[in-house]
Amino acid sequence: MTEQEPLRIGLVLFPGFQALDAFGPLDVLNTLSWSHPLTISLLSSSLSPVTTQNPLVPGSTGQKILPTHTFADAPPLDALIVPGGFGTRLVTTPPIQDAIAYVRTVYPSLKYLITVCTGSLLTARTGILDGKQATTNKKAFREIERQFPQVQWVARARWVVDGNIWTASGVSAGIDVALAWVAEVWGEQVADEVARGVEVDRRRDSRDDPFAVVHGV
C-alpha cells in the first residue's frame, strides 16, 4: 500500500448518468473500504436525488441516487470519478454545465482523475484532455473523436493512463479501470482480493478490448 491516509474519492452525478458507469467503480471501492479506510462523496449541482434515466428516451427506466454534497460545498478530494451516460449530451443544461465547471476547477488539486465511458466526453469539454491520450465508449468513439480532435483518442483500449488521468471505455470498463487503479494505489494483491470478492475476472491488459472491433473503430 503506497497511500498512508484514507483516500478521499469523489464521484460526479448528473441526470442521465449511466448506472453501471458509477456503480461498477463504486462497488469496487465500497468493497475495498471493508479493509482499507477511504471516503466517497457523491457530488452534484444540488442535493436533490439524481436519476439514471436516459433523458433522450422518454419512458425509459431509471433509479434515483442521493448526492452527499453540492459542487459548491465539495470537500477536498484526492481522486475524482466522472461517469458517462446520455446525460453528458445535454451540454446546455445547468447540471452538466455545473459538472463541467467543477471538473475544470478541481482538476489541478487532484492526485487522480478517472473517467468512465462518455465521462471522457464531459471531461473533454473542460480542455483537460487536450494533447493527452484518452479513450471512451466505443459506439460513440468516432463521433467524439471528430468533436474533440485535439485529444489523442486511443481506439483499442479498455482503459488508458496518461499522467494522472485514467480514462475507460464504455460502461462495464469502469470496473476494469477501477481495479487497475486500486492495483496502482493499494497494490496488486489488494486489487486481486477485491476482484475475487466481487467475482470479477480482472483484465490486466489495458489493450484487451473486444469492443473496438465490435464497433469497428
Active site residues: 117
Residue 111: CA atoms inside 13 Å, Cβ hemisphere, count? 12
Q: How far apart are CA 28 and CA 62, in angstroms?
A: 22
Helix (H) or strand (E) holding 66: none
Give Cα separations from 23 to 109, 171, 175, 189, 216 (angstroms): 24, 10, 9, 22, 27
> Minimum distance from CB of 131 to a second copy (Å)?
26
Q: How far apart are CA 140 and CA 136, in angstroms?
A: 8
199 binds a second copy per the rule CB under 8 A: yes
**Location of C-alpha cell 469539454:** 125
> Minimum distance from CB of 144 to a second copy (Å)?
15
Q: Which of residues 59-78 bind a second copy (CB under 8 A)?
A: 59-66
* Nearer Cβ to a second copy (131/216): 216
Q: Which of residues 30-49 bind a second copy (CB under 8 A)?
A: 30, 33-34, 37-40, 42, 49
- Using CB under 8 A as the criterion, which residues of the chain lie in contact with a second copy when the complex forms? 18-20, 22-24, 26-27, 29-30, 33-34, 37-40, 42, 49, 52-54, 57, 59-66, 137-139, 169-173, 175, 196-201, 210-211, 214-215
